[in-house]
């Protein structure tokens, strides 16, 4: 990836760590050098603390909003990818009603095969009536999305680097750039995603309770410090 002044830039104004406003500046139009960019920002954001990030545009072939990867730590300390969802936005192109959550269409992805599996009608009510063939002219089921497996491996490594053991589940927002590179945008708590997956069926719920959650997941075979941190604090 290029860095500014070769790339468009988002300037995020912050106060006490909170984002209060942002603005987008285009390389070659609004500025050509780092000095010109600094001058523009000083003029439009006087006295404000700014955080600068590059504008990352998704690969047009997929019209991808983001790849959502959920990693979860088990009772023995092992980390696994719980689910990977590809969010896209074909509704605007086809004039369908807008869906208010992330992209307009979500697809589960087979991590090993790196292929789209199905839509996500279970994710939230606005997705319940979406059928797989509704977007057959846009993204085909079983279409390959190369690089997903490597992105998931990086997500696991990133979770391993988190020292706070109470961070059991993390959602990683990843975007596939025009150059074909998966870029990590953020990581945040993933308990809402865990619950969505956990209650898909009785069998899944039973499996997760027995294999992942205190007191069943520990089974007395691992050190207490390794047990899942949903365990009540003593």
On the CB side of 121, CA atoms within 13 Å amount to: 8
Q: Are 31 and 74 members of one domain?
A: no
Whether residue 86 is contained in a domain is answered as yes
Predicted confidence (pLDDT) at residue 99 exceeds the cutoff of 90: no
Q: Are 111 and 20 members of one domain?
A: no
Select the more confidently predicted residue: 71 or 90: 71
Counting the structural domains of the chain, the total is 2
Query: Which residues make beta-bridge pairs with 106?
Result: 87
Whether residue 230 is contained in a domain is answered as no
Do the beta carbons of residue 103 and residue 96 sit within 8 Å? no
Do the beta carbons of residue 151 and residue 67 sit within 8 Å? yes
Q: Are 50 and 139 members of one domain?
A: no
Q: Are 91 and 148 members of one domain?
A: yes
Q: Are 166 and 95 members of one domain?
A: yes
Do the beta carbons of residue 119 and residue 132 sit within 8 Å? yes
Q: Are 108 and 192 members of one domain?
A: yes
Helix, strand, or coil (residue 126): helix
As a whole number of angstroms, the distance between CA 167 and CA 161 comes to 11
Whether residue 117 is contained in a domain is answered as yes
Q: Are 86 and 47 members of one domain?
A: no
Whether residue 234 is contained in a domain is answered as no
**Band of pLDDT at residue 229, cut at 50, 70 and 90:** very low
CA dihedral 63, 91, 93, 116 (to 10 degrees): 40
Predicted confidence (pLDDT) at residue 121 exceeds the cutoff of 50: yes
Q: Are 46 and 110 members of one domain?
A: no
Strand 18-25: give its sheet, edge to edge: 18-25, 9-15, 49-54
Q: What is the pLDDT of residue 131?
A: 57
pTM: 0.69
Predicted confidence (pLDDT) at residue 195 exceeds the cutoff of 60: yes
Q: What is the pLDDT of residue 152?
A: 94
Task: State the CATH number of the domain containing residue 104.
Answer: 3.30.470
**Band of pLDDT at residue 154, cut at 50, 70 and 90:** very high
Domain containing 36 equals 9-54
Nearest to 64 by CA among 210, 183, 153: 183
Q: What is the pLDDT of residue 12?
A: 85
**Band of pLDDT at residue 18, cut at 50, 70 and 90:** low
pLDDT in tens, 107-120: 899 999 999 888 88
Q: What is the pLDDT of residue 83?
A: 92
Q: Are 37 and 70 members of one domain?
A: no
Q: Are 103 and 32 members of one domain?
A: no
Query: Which residues make beta-bridge pairs with 73?
Result: 79
Q: Are 98 and 168 members of one domain?
A: yes
Phi and psi torsions of 26, nearest 5° = -100, 125
Whether residue 112 is contained in a domain is answered as yes
**Band of pLDDT at residue 156, cut at 50, 70 and 90:** very high
Q: Are 95 and 135 members of one domain?
A: yes
Q: Poorest-confidence range of 55-59, 123-127, 212-216?
A: 212-216
Whether residue 217 is contained in a domain is answered as no
Whether residue 231 is contained in a domain is answered as no
Predicted confidence (pLDDT) at residue 91 exceeds the cutoff of 70: no
């Amino acid at each position: 990836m290029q860095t500014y002044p070769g790339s468009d830039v988002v300037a995020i104004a912050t106060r006490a760590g909170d984002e209060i406003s942002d603005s987008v500046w285009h390389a070659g139009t609004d500025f050509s050098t780092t000095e010109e960019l600094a001058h523009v920002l000083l003029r439009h954001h006087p006295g404000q603390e700014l955080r600068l990030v590059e504008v990352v545009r998704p690969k047009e072939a997929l019209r991808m909003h983001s790849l959502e990867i959920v990693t979860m730590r088990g009772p023995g300390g092992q980390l696994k990818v719980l689910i990977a969802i590809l969010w896209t936005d074909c509704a605007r192109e086809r004039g369908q009603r807008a869906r208010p959550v992330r992209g307009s269409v979500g697809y589960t992805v087979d991590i090993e095969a790196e292929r789209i599996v199905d839509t996500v009608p279970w994710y939230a009510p606005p997705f319940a009536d979406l059928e797989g063939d509704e977007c057959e002219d846009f993204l085909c089921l079983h279409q390959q999305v190369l690089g997903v497996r490597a992105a998931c491996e990086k997500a696991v490594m990133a979770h391993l680097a988190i020292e706070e053991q109470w961070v059991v589940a993390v959602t990683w927002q990843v975007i596939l750039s025009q150059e074909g590179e998966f870029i990590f945008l953020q990581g945040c708590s993933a308990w809402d995603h865990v619950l969505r997956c956990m209650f898909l069926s009785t069998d899944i719920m039973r499996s997760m309770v027995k294999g992942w959650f205190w007191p069943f997941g520990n089974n007395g075979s691992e050190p207490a410090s390794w047990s899942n941190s949903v365990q009540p604090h003593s």
